[in-house]
């Protein structure tokens, strides 16, 4: 089993509707299919790492509604340590209505619910277990104060960190997350964080450098079907994509980040881990759903072998 990873973040129940197109205001359309699944950026990233045999613990909150216990059961069934998953009385769990069109592109709404109740006190309660971790993963579907507190905790205890600033928060204080090891936005999140355009590779690099000038050392920009770009103060490296026929791109970014965390804690080889993560994310979009599209170690090894042939 790979070294220990903590995810301090969100969970959601995905409510997935397949569509031909989005309805216009006031219009009603029939949609071809509906499905429910487990999601949330934090839980997705935790499951991706766990399915690749990482030792994963999660710090999160669920509501006491119909979705709360099923979320806890799902994390447990994926081999994730649920010691610090709390249930909030009288609160709804997080849900995410997702609309997937015929090309596999998706549009997502999120209702945070109990995720808003994840507080710095929960980090203190999990502190002794967090200190045993090699890497802590964070996202922005929980309160910013908790993200800041977790980043400071990790810095104090010498734990490496990944911040996925999603969904983008324009009021994110870069100074309070400047010491995280890796910041991993997509193009639109990078644009919102910096107030700069990200339509071209040159603009993406300029925006990433704007974050670097604020103290962030390493920026990894996910580019969907174009792969990813690793940017530091003195280097920019393209992580090439793997060409597959997409069936559903939902959760691909989380597959990339969760698998990257797993590969990186094992080897500390940054570029090689990102290249493997690009393969893992590509494999995930060949199947429907979010967490259920994430490969196990054996399935991923088979995908890698097939793409080397």
* 255 backbone dihedrals φ, ψ, rounded to 5°: -60, -40
Q: Is 53 a catalytic residue?
A: no
- How far apart, in whole angstroms, are the C-alpha atoms of residue 21 and residue 33? 13
In sequence order, what DSSP letters do the residues of 209-262 get, joined into one string? HHHHHTT---EEEE-GGG-EEEEETTEEEEE-------S--TTHHHHHHHHHHH
- How far apart, in whole angstroms, are the C-alpha atoms of residue 271 and residue 250? 24
- How far apart, in whole angstroms, are the C-alpha atoms of residue 217 and residue 271? 15
Question: And the tokens for 120?
Answer: 């710095």
Contacts 24+ apart (CB under 8 A), 185-193: 185/219, 185/221, 185/222, 186/221, 186/222, 186/223, 186/224, 186/253, 187/221, 187/222, 187/223, 187/224, 189/165, 190/219, 190/221, 192/168, 193/165, 193/168, 193/169
Q: Which of 55, 122, 134, 254 is catalytic?
A: 254
- How far apart, in whole angstroms, are the C-alpha atoms of residue 48 and residue 19? 26
∠ Cα 108 109 115 (to 5°)? 120
Q: Are 106 and 98 in contact (CB under 8 A)?
A: yes
Active-site residues: which are they? 254
């Amino acid at each position: 089993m790979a070294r220990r990873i903590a995810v301090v973040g969100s969970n959601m129940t995905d409510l997935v509707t397949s569509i031909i197109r989005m309805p216009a205001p006031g219009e009603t359309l029939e949609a071809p299919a509906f499905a429910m699944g487990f999601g949330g950026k934090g839980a997705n990233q935790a499951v991706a790492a766990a399915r690749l045999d990482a030792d994963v613990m999660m710090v999160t909150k669920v509501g006491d509604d119909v979705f709360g216990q099923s979320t806890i059961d799902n994390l447990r069934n994926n081999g994730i340590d649920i010691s610090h998953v709390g249930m909030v009385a009288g609160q709804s769990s997080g849900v995410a209505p997702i609309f997937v069109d015929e090309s596999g592109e998706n549009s997502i709404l999120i209702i945070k619910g109990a995720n808003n109740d994840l507080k710095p006190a929960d980090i203190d309660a999990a502190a002794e277990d967090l200190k045993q971790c090699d890497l802590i993963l964070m996202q922005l579907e929980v309160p910013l104060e908790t993200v800041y507190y977790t980043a400071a905790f990790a810095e104090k205890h010498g734990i490496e960190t990944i911040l996925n600033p999603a969904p983008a928060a324009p009021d994110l204080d870069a100074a309070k997350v400047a010491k995280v090891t890796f910041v991993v936005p997509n193009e639109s999140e990078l644009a919102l964080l910096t107030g700069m355009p990200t339509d071209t590779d040159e603009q993406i690099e300029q925006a990433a450098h704007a974050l670097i000038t604020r103290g962030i050392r390493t920026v990894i920009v996910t580019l969907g079907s174009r792969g990813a770009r690793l940017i530091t103060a003195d280097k920019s490296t393209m992580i090439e994509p793997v060409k597959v026929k997409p069936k559903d791109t939902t959760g691909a970014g989380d597959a990339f980040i969760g698998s990257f965390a797993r590969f990186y804690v094992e080897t500390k080889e940054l570029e090689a881990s990102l290249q493997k993560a690009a393969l893992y994310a590509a494999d995930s979009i060949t199947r429907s759903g979010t967490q259920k599209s994430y490969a196990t170690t054996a399935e991923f090894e088979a995908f890698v072998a097939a793409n080397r042939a």
